Structure 1
């Protein structure tokens, strides 16, 4: 028997969201890790305040602390942006909250604290950084931080298990799949992307701008999944996004 085409399987296992559910993702610029550069450090309160002042949405990252809290930080280790060393998950949220960000006088914060700062003023993309096969504890921490938050917000991850967890345990939360085709553009890579989409039951894609245009991204966009694109840093990237995506996640002055 002939195998079903990917398009039919996509509609079966990752149905397109209702348009109103994802409308806030379109036609909006998102500042990648906040508006950072110069004296403004990525994923810091100052970077988020600067994005809000410019009317940008915010993309931020969360890592799991040792006691299972969602801490706003990109790297898996503290080395690059703090005077400390070692994995983020090796410290409790309270311990992380005493670590200064790159001599800025500000400190690592929890997702709840940052959402309180943003206060519903702009849309937020929460990228869940998890290498774990079962990221349930971090996903639950993100869900708890989002509880009662009234602003437009979505979660996303390279790890399709994150989307799968939210589809099961917090279906009202908009969920996305982060995708790069780097070194994986052949038929096996195409199959892996569809499998990840089905596993995550994604409402939208956050796509590597270097891979656009992409038949996979175009097919999902055509059936109603918004495509955001990262990381936009040039006029050429902007032109690509204008044609092949719905919003940039950018690092541009």
Structure 2
């Protein structure tokens, strides 16, 4: 009977884990408006010479719209609490300035150019005016801290927008904010095998994140997962047991597309142009 002292606690732990990782029960149904589109990662961009349409620029978004693609983009806050569209926490890679977006007001950011183009960091408002409901939108909320703050500012702007959209974030506290305060908005949890990265390896928080145990508070309608790590055990368990809507990021080659088009419900892509479906 001694083995029961091991099996019973193990069973309880497994049961608790399965409860923690359960996403929304209505994810597939909720995500129906997003279906049937391919999503251009940071717009249909070209981060190479002649830099006419760098990532997360109005030009990249225009190209995506004209090509019939949905759009994935990133939002974060400036020093003066303007919501701008920009991916990195630091300006170094795109603007050549080794400082954070949050170190500058928007008027100050307007001085910088994206790569070697004439494009500036756009306001989220301006991007929404450009898209104007022509294609669906995946809004990634960049919330390394103050998840409530960026979520509140973002949703105030989205409430004036009439097109189809959803939000997603790596920070489950941001997704949980939408679950609690705006359950009407489609929400997704971004995830990866964080312990593959040296800066996250060995940290308990990132072990919990990569095992998606915050789903218990975020209740995401979809799971957006790095295609390189799609065979990870947590993702496979969730997909098998709960059958949520799944989003692939980022498909960057024809081989990636062929290997993942039947695995995921939605595809976020770059560097290729998959067939237009709308």
TM-score scaled by length of structure 2: 0.81
Match of 2:181 in 1: 169
Q: Among residues 99, 104, 120, which one is paired with 2:112 in the alignment?
A: 99
**1:180-199: CA deviation from partner (whole Å, max 9, x where unpaired):** 125369xx847852313223
Structure 1 distance, partners of 2:88, 2:191, is: 18
Pairwise mapping of residues 14-53 of structure 1 onto structure 2 (< 5 A)?
14-17=23-26, 19-37=28-46, 38=48, 39=51, 40-53=53-66
CA contact (8 A) 1:155 1:174 kept: yes
**1:22-76: CA deviation from partner (whole Å, max 9, x where unpaired):** 0133332111100111422000000001111111110101121112222100111
Structure 1 vs Structure 2 CA RMSD: 2.4
Structure 2 distance, partners of 1:251, 1:170, is: 30
Matching of residue 216 in structure 1 with residue 238 in structure 2 = no
Q: Among residues 90, 94, 97, which one is paired with 1:77 in the alignment?
A: 90
Question: How many residues end up aligned between the 2 structures?
Answer: 249
Structure 2 residue runs of 5 or longer lacking an equivalent are 1-7, 273-278
**1:183-228: CA deviation from partner (whole Å, max 9, x where unpaired):** 369xx84785231322321110111010123443344345342111
User: Secondary structure of 1:80's partner?
Assistant: helix
Match of 1:242 in 2: 261
Structure 1 distance, partners of 2:217, 2:211, is: 10
- Assess, with a 3 A threshold, how the Cα gap between structure 1 residues 49 and 145 changes in structure 2: closer, same or farther: same
**1:79-100: CA deviation from partner (whole Å, max 9, x where unpaired):** 2222544110011233323433
Matching of residue 89 in structure 1 with residue 102 in structure 2 = yes
Structure 1 residue runs of 5 or longer lacking an equivalent are none
**1:131-189: CA deviation from partner (whole Å, max 9, x where unpaired):** 11x3111111110110131111111111111101111122111111111125369xx84
Match of 1:230 in 2: 249
Larger radius of gyration: 2
Structure 2 distance, partners of 1:18, 1:180, is: 20
CA contact (8 A) 1:123 1:152 kept: yes
TM-score scaled by length of structure 1: 0.88
